[in-house]
Amino acid sequence: SGGWDDAARVWSLETRECLLLLGNQENNICVLGLSNGDVVTGSTGFQVEHAIQGHQIRLWKNGKVEKTNQDHSAGIRDLCAVVGEEGLMCASASNDGTVRLLGPDLACAEVFVCPDGSFAFSVAHLGAGRFAAAQESGTLVLFQRGVGVLRTINFTKGLWAVRRLPSDDFMVAGEDNIIIIFTDKEDKSLSQETLDQILGQNIKEQQERRGHQEQGSASSQQQGSSSPLPSEQDLDKYRGAKEGDISLFQSLTSNGSTAYRWEGGAWRALGPVAAAPVPRAELGGAYFDVVVPVEVDSASKGFICDMMGFNFTDDPQELSRNFCHKHSLPDEYLTQIESFIQQCQFMANM
């Protein structure tokens, strides 16, 4: 197993105890166990100022590093074994948008470049010289050894993993919470109509779940709210408890309410009532228009989740710069965080 603690571990399936610690690596570690007992690991590297450094692939024998490969220009995200391909041992996927085929000594035999250049999160060997890469952008790329890109399949959201199945089919999983299995066998393939129906049903179920949650929230709010105001057209049906009392009536000309004072046995209009003040959110002893969690999966820093408070008048670009500076994130995250802040400001103002 590999984790964010700069190490990989070898475990006993019988005792569930850690047998071997492969430490002193760089940040998040992906790991591959080979059939001969050797272990291959890939690290995402550490951030030094605005650059990622130290990311590499290691071949371990008996708990010691035998070989290393530092060909990738960014962190390594996944490894897969390559069986039955002459001169190859494994393949690696990287944040540099490439897949590399590696020999037994970790020497690079071939490089596949993902067409859109986004992070390659996962790689799988499909057999017969074919490979698949899952990208952060939501693109599934199929490669052929010695040929290059065979086909790309675009998904609406990012892909997390691609894996070959024992049946020689392969599956992909991603941010849309759907696992799709692909096959070359005609008798197992779904028709496009059936596939559309399944995907449509999944989307419908997700929408219904969100709808139930929203209805539950609205119901709770309604139960806790006061009874509706009497309408202005019913002024003659009500009187003040005493001279000078002020009461609210539902306006006939707007969705708001109008204040009336009881004077001399009749209601006198005082004017429309502004909406109740909206409470601001507190964070660290200060108050903001919006407080939201900002989540970043950084190759160098790991998974970062921090609360951010800001006002509608704040500059999203400056907020993004401050957040990246606070967490020592590279400039590549500026646009993503700035866009997220703009979206939050827009939604909160609706």
pLDDT at residue 221 in the model = 42
pLDDT at residue 92 in the model = 97
CB 180 within 8 A of CB 160: no
Q: Which of 232, 219, 235 is nearest to 273 (CA)?
A: 232
| CA–CA dist 155, 174 (Å, integer) | 9
| CA–CA dist 56, 46 (Å, integer) | 11
CB 27 within 8 A of CB 304: no
pLDDT at residue 225 in the model = 41
CB atoms < 10 A from the CB of 311, how many? 12
CATH topology of domain 281-348: Ubiquitin-like (UB roll) (3.10.20)
Q: Which residue ranges of the chain lie beneath pLDDT 70? A: 49-50, 198-227, 274-278, 298-302, 346-350
**Maximum Cα–Cα distance across the chain:** 101
pLDDT at residue 226 in the model = 47
Strand 266-273, strand 257-263: pairing: antiparallel
- Domain layout of the chain by residue ranges: 2-189, 245-277, 281-348
- The residues facing 127 across adjacent strands are 130
pLDDT at residue 207 in the model = 59
Q: Which of 268, 223, 210 is nearest to 243 (CA)?
A: 268
pLDDT at residue 1 in the model = 95
Q: What is the pTM of this model?
A: 0.60
The token duo for 171 is: 């599956």
Please state the length of the chain: 350
| CA–CA dist 265, 239 (Å, integer) | 8
Amino acid code (one letter) for 2: G
Correct CATH for 2-189 of 1.10.10.410, 2.130.10.10, 2.70.170.10, 3.30.830.10: 2.130.10.10
Q: Write the CA distances from 304 to 4, 106, 292, integer angstroms.
A: 12, 32, 13
CB atoms < 10 A from the CB of 301, how many? 18
| CA–CA dist 249, 230 (Å, integer) | 5
Helix axes 334-349, 316-326, angle to 10 degrees: 130
